[in-house]
């Protein structure tokens, strides 16, 4: 057994009663430290880590030579050796990034991709915070795509419950640490960063998919939509997959065609058999002076293509009637009623009931307009149909068309756009549609009023259990 | 909060050295007794990247400690500068700190040191000490 003299550095002398040197026994440094520890309370803990390793700030000299290597603690000591414990005096500002990461790793919980997958199975929300181009090459199944740039702005819409466990994932596990910290600042109490990120997720053979995404041009075109949590990429893709039928390319159909095309509705069907007249141009803004005489459906297609060439336009240059409505309506998601006559309005109502489609209704008369959504087939909350309010068309002398009564040119713009808003809401499945409510606009008074409408339980067309009674051709006796 | 006495000459020595070595970190040892720094010694900074770290060679330390002991005094801590930041211990500082030692840090604004603060490790966290003349 060797007996050695150990020189104690100043910071440790409080453990040796102020002594700068103590005598200890042991054949290795480890044994010597343990021997000192037995006699000087707390000394060994200052030199060794809890795992029994030499602390990083302790250098050891034996007889003037510095001991180096992994086995410093186990190198043999000769009897009578002088052991000096020397503080490694070091530190410094450090690299800001490394500093931050070190601090983050101490405060943010990290989980492996496998653990993340298991937590996901238990209800945790996995958020892929990478950029769109990175996500395009694959993303974990079931992951939410919330780019780092908008994470804080959107997370509360996606995950309103602050108690819900949230997992952040990036490509390598660094950016997700920063994101996790931000989420914790927002109040999320159970946040974990996925160590190794998506690279390790793939390496571990965990499931991922190539998400369908907007291309760069679409991303630019719809950027204002993408900023909105109610639309976002998912909503925009949904709009692009949607099919809307505009019945009429007139005063109501004009603003609807333009704005729905601009919004990126993928397919617009246009039913119109008429031609553009100069008197239409006072309000039918989808047409143009140099297209007077052209078929309205084709003129509308020209304007839509000029605005957004990605929109598919399907033309139905026919007069909508009971004989063709069943071949035109199926396949569309929403029918936008832009007609100016009761015969077609009832036909649209009846066909929408038959095919279970929402009917976005609009009508104008001089300075007044009205909008509603008739949708008896609405899942969960069925609304009334047009017939629940007006079972039969009025007599022709009480139902003049625009051609007969006149209309303020701006008014169909407003009503057609209210219809467009309702259409978009239905397609995105967001907000409160005007189902069971009729919205009146009095342009002269500058007033909107709303009337609640109930379903008619005896409605011959939409009441529960009623068999579709067939179409009625009002054309012959209605003031169209 | 604990206090730490600091001789004006010691502060002057650190400020001059830190200014001269900007944008690199300056470093050295503090000599005195517990609770009071009587002298600041300058040391060579042996760190690989001296803009973001400092390292006093253990052999330099041994040599200085011996000389200080021969004069009947003791090393009570270390000082260094943060040429690009505040006089607040970094995570690196914390990980490499000795318990019960006084750490003086000089922070910079622009090219000149603008603050000097004292810290002491309590368990695993730094606590600030109030500097007194």
Same domain, A160 and A266: no
Domain C-terminal end among A174, A209, A244: A209
Domain boundaries, chain B: 8-76+85-132
**Pick from A56, A90, A103: which is nearest to B56 by CB?**
A90
Same domain, A62 and A184: no
The span from the CA of A337 to the CA of A18, in Å, is 95
The span from the CA of A247 to the CA of A337, in Å, is 5
> Inter-chain contact A99–B91, Cβ cutoff 8 Å?
yes
Determine which of A89, A102, A106, A107 to mutate to test the interface with B (most B C-beta atoms within 10 Å): A89
**Pick from A84, A87, A93: which is nearest to B98 by CB?**
A87
DSSP E strands, A8-98:
21-25, 58-62, 65-66, 82-87, 89-91
Same domain, A179 and A321: no
Of A74, A86, A85, nearest in space to A27 by CA = A74
Query: Which residues of chain B approach chain A closer than 8 Å at the C-beta?
Result: 25, 27, 29, 43, 47, 52-56, 58-59, 61-62, 65, 69, 74-76, 78, 80, 82-85, 89-93, 95-101, 103
> Inter-chain contact B47–A90, Cβ cutoff 8 Å?
yes
What is the reported pTM?
Answer: 0.56
pLDDT tens-digit series, residues A300-342: 999 999 999 999 999 999 999 999 999 999 999 999 999 988 8
| Euclidean distance between the first and the last CA atom of chain B, given in angstroms as a whole number | 16
Supply the CATH number for residue A18's domain. Answer: 3.10.20.30
Count of domains forming chain A = 3
Same domain, A104 and A67: no
pLDDT attached to residue A399 = 64
CATH H-level, domain B8-76+85-132: superfamily: Cytidine Deaminase, domain 2 (3.40.140.10)
Domain C-terminal end among A57, A87, A117: A87
**Pick from A86, A92, A102: which is nearest to B58 by CB?**
A86
The answer to whether residue A225 sits within a structural domain is no
Taken in order A188, A192, A197, A200, the sign of the CA dihedral is negative
The span from the CA of A319 to the CA of A247, in Å, is 10
Maximum Cα interatomic distance, chain B, rounded to a whole number of Å:
40
Q: DSSP alpha helices (H): ranges in A246-392? A: 253-263, 296-307, 325-328, 342-355, 386-389
pLDDT attached to residue B123 = 76
pLDDT attached to residue A479 = 37
pLDDT attached to residue A478 = 39
> Inter-chain contact B52–A93, Cβ cutoff 8 Å?
yes
> Inter-chain contact B91–A46, Cβ cutoff 8 Å?
no
User: Count of A–B CB contacts within 8 Å?
Assistant: 95
φ, ψ dihedrals at B127, nearest 5°? -115, 145
The string of DSSP letters for B15-39 reads HHHHHHHTTSPPEEEEEEETTEEEE
Rounded to the nearest angstrom, the gap between the alpha carbon of residue A263 and the centroid of all alpha carbons in its chain is 17
From chain B, the residues in CB contact with A102 under 8 A are 91-92, 95
78-107 in chain A: CB under 8 A from chain B: 84, 86-95, 99, 102-103
| Euclidean distance between the first and the last CA atom of chain A, given in angstroms as a whole number | 116
> Inter-chain contact B53–A92, Cβ cutoff 8 Å?
yes
From chain A, the residues in CB contact with B55 under 8 A are 88-90
> Inter-chain contact B83–A94, Cβ cutoff 8 Å?
no
In this prediction, residues B53-66 reach a mean pLDDT of: 88
Distances (CA, A) of A189 to A161, A164, A166, A354, A473: 10, 8, 9, 50, 63
- Tell me the Cα Rg of chain A: 37
The span from the CA of A294 to the CA of A291, in Å, is 5
3-class DSSP state of A455: coil
The answer to whether residue A219 sits within a structural domain is no
The answer to whether residue A223 sits within a structural domain is no
Residues of B catalogued as catalytic: 25
Same domain, A293 and A401: yes
* DSSP type of residue A80: T
pLDDT tens-digit series, residues A163-182: 999 999 999 898 999 999 99
Strand partners, A268: A244, A313
From chain A, the residues in CB contact with B27 under 8 A are 89
Supply the CATH number for residue A335's domain. Answer: 3.40.50.720
pLDDT attached to residue A374 = 98
A15: Cβ contacts below 8 Å, ≥ 6 apart: A8, A40, A41, A42, A43, A46
3-class DSSP state of A351: helix
From chain A, the residues in CB contact with B25 under 8 A are 92-93
pLDDT attached to residue A244 = 98
From chain A, the residues in CB contact with B35 under 8 A are none
A341: Cβ contacts below 8 Å, ≥ 6 apart: A399, A401, A478, A479, A480
Determine which of A15, A43, A93 to mutate to test the interface with B (most B C-beta atoms within 10 Å): A93
> Inter-chain contact B95–A84, Cβ cutoff 8 Å?
no
Q: Which two tokens stand for residue A126?
A: 């996995």
Same domain, A190 and A327: no
Same domain, A318 and A299: yes
- Which chain A residue lies closest to B62 (C-alpha atoms)? A86
Same domain, A132 and A167: yes
Residue A122: exposure state from Cβ atoms within 10 A (0-12, 13-18, ≥19): exposed
From chain B, the residues in CB contact with A93 under 8 A are 25, 52-53, 82-85, 90, 92
Same domain, A103 and A77: no
pLDDT along chain A (480 residues), means of 10: 88 84 92 91 85 84 84 90 87 74 84 95 95 87 88 87 95 91 93 93 92 90 92 94 97 98 98 96 97 97 97 96 96 95 93 97 94 96 94 73 77 98 97 96 96 94 93 61
Instruction: Classify the phi-psi angles of B16: left when phi > 0, otherwise alpha if psi is within -120 to 50, otherwise beta.
Output: alpha
**Pick from B84, B90, B98: which is nearest to A11 by CB?**
B98
Cis peptide before B23 (omega within 30 of 0): yes
The answer to whether residue A239 sits within a structural domain is yes
CB A44, CB A34: distance < 8 Å? yes
The answer to whether residue A332 sits within a structural domain is yes
pLDDT attached to residue A475 = 65
Instruction: Classify the phi-psi angles of A465: left when phi > 0, otherwise alpha if psi is within -120 to 50, otherwise beta.
Output: left
Same domain, A236 and A278: yes
B113: Cβ contacts below 8 Å, ≥ 6 apart: B14, B15, B18, B19, B81, B106, B107
Q: Please state the ipTM of this predicted complex.
A: 0.87
Residue A190: exposure state from Cβ atoms within 10 A (0-12, 13-18, ≥19): middle
pLDDT tens-digit series, residues B98-125: 888 899 999 988 888 999 999 998 877 8
Of B112, B39, B94, B60, nearest in space to A56 by CA = B94
pLDDT attached to residue A398 = 67
A57 touches chain B (CB under 8 A): yes
Same domain, A245 and A354: yes
Maximum Cα interatomic distance, chain A, rounded to a whole number of Å:
124
The region of weakest confidence among A41-45, A291-295, B6-10, B21-25 is A41-45
The span from the CA of A38 to the CA of A44, in Å, is 8
A210 touches chain B (CB under 8 A): no
**Pick from A11, A86, A92: which is nearest to B47 by CB?**
A92
**Pick from A20, A86, A90: which is nearest to B69 by CB?**
A20
The string of DSSP letters for A215-258 reads -HHHHHHTHHHHTSTTTHHHHHHHHHT-EEEEE-SSTTHHHHHH
The string of DSSP letters for B91-125 reads HHHHHTPPTT-EEEEEEEETTEEEEEEEEEEETTE
From chain A, the residues in CB contact with B85 under 8 A are 93
A469 touches chain B (CB under 8 A): no
**Pick from A14, A89, A95: which is nearest to B52 by CB?**
A95
Structural domain span for residue A61: 3-87
The span from the CA of A326 to the CA of B58, in Å, is 91
Distances (CA, A) of A328 to A71, A318, A429, B20: 84, 10, 24, 85
Domain C-terminal end among A178, A209, A240: A209
From chain B, the residues in CB contact with A9 under 8 A are 65, 98
* DSSP type of residue A42: T
- Which chain A residue lies closest to B81 (C-alpha atoms)? A92
pLDDT attached to residue A460 = 94
pLDDT tens-digit series, residues A392-417: 887 766 666 656 678 899 999 999 99
The answer to whether residue A117 sits within a structural domain is yes
Same domain, A316 and A443: yes
From chain B, the residues in CB contact with A91 under 8 A are 53-54, 78, 80, 89-90, 92-93, 96-97, 103
- The single residue of A170, A385, A402, A462 carrying the catalytic annotation is A402
Strand partners, A226: none
């Amino acid at each position: 057994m060797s007996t050695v003299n150990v020189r104690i550095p100043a910071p440790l002398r409080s453990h040796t009663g102020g002594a700068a040197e103590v005598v200890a026994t042991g054949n290795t440094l480890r044994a010597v430290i343990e021997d000192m520890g037995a006699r000087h309370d707390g000394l060994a803990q200052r030199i060794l880590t809890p795992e029994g390793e030499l602390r990083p700030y302790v250098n050891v000299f034996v007889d003037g030579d510095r001991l180096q290597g992994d086995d410093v603690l186990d190198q043999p000591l000769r009897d009578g050796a002088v052991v000096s414990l020397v503080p490694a005096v070091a530190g410094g500002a450090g690299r800001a990034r490394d500093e931050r990461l070190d601090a983050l790793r101490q405060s943010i919980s990290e989980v492996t991709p496998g653990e993340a997958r298991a937590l996901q199975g238990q209800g945790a929300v996995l958020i892929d915070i990478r950029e769109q181009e990175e996500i395009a090459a694959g993303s974990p199944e079931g992951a939410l795509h919330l780019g780092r740039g908008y994470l804080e702005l959107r997370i509360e819409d996606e995950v309103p419950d602050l108690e819900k466990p949230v997992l952040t994932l990036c490509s390598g596990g660094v950016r997700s640490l920063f994101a996790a910290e931000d989420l914790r600042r927002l109040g999320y109490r159970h946040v974990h960063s996925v160590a190794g990120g998506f690279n390790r997720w793939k390496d571990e053979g965990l499931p991922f998919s190539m998400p369908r995404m907007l291309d760069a041009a679409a991303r630019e075109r719809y950027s204002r939509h993408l900023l909105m949590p109610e639309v976002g990429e998912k909503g925009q893709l949904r709009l692009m997959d949607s099919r809307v039928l505009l019945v009429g390319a007139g005063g109501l159909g004009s603003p609807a065609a333009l704005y729905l095309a601009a919004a990126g509705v993928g397919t617009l069907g246009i039913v119109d058999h008429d031609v553009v007249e100069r008197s239409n141009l006072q309000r039918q803004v989808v047409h143009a002076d140099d297209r007077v005489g052209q078929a309205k459906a084709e003129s509308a297609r020209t304007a839509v293509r000029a605005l957004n060439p990605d929109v598919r336009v399907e033309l139905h240059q026919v007069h909508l009637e009971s004989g063709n409505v069943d071949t035109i309506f199926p396949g569309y998601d929403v029918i936008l009623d832009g007609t100016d006559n009761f015969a077609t309005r009832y036909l649209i109502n009846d066909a929408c009931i038959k095919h279970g489609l929402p009917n976005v209704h609009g009508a104008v008369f001089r300075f007044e307009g009205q909008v509603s959504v008739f949708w008896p087939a609405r899942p969960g909350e069925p609304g009334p149909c047009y017939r629940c309010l007006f079972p039969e068309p009025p007599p022709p002398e009480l139902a003049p068309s625009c051609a007969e009564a006149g209309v303020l040119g701006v008014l169909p713009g407003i009503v057609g756009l209210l219809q467009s808003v309702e259409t978009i809401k239905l397609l995105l499945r967001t907000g409160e549609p005007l189902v069971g409510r009729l919205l009146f606009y009095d342009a002269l008074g500058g007033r909107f009023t709303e009337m609640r409408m109930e379903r008619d339980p005896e409605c011959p067309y939409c009441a529960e259990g009623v068999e579709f009674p067939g179409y009625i051709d009002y054309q012959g006796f209605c003031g169209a | 909060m604990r206090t730490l006495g600091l001789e004006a000459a010691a502060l002057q020595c650190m400020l001059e050295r830190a200014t001269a070595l900007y944008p690199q970190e300056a470093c050295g040892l503090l000599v005195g007794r517990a609770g009071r720094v009587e002298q600041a010694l300058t040391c060579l900074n042996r760190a690989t990247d001296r803009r973001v770290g400092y390292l006093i060679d253990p052999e330099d330390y041994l040599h200085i400690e011996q000389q200080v002991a021969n004069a009947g005094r003791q090393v009570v801590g270390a000082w260094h500068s943060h040429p690009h930041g505040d006089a607040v211990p970094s995570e690196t500082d914390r990980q490499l700190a000795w318990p019960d030692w006084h750490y003086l840090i000089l922070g910079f604004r622009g090219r000149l040191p603008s603050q000097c603060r004292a810290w002491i490790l309590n368990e695993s966290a730094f606590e600030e000490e109030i500097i007194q003349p």
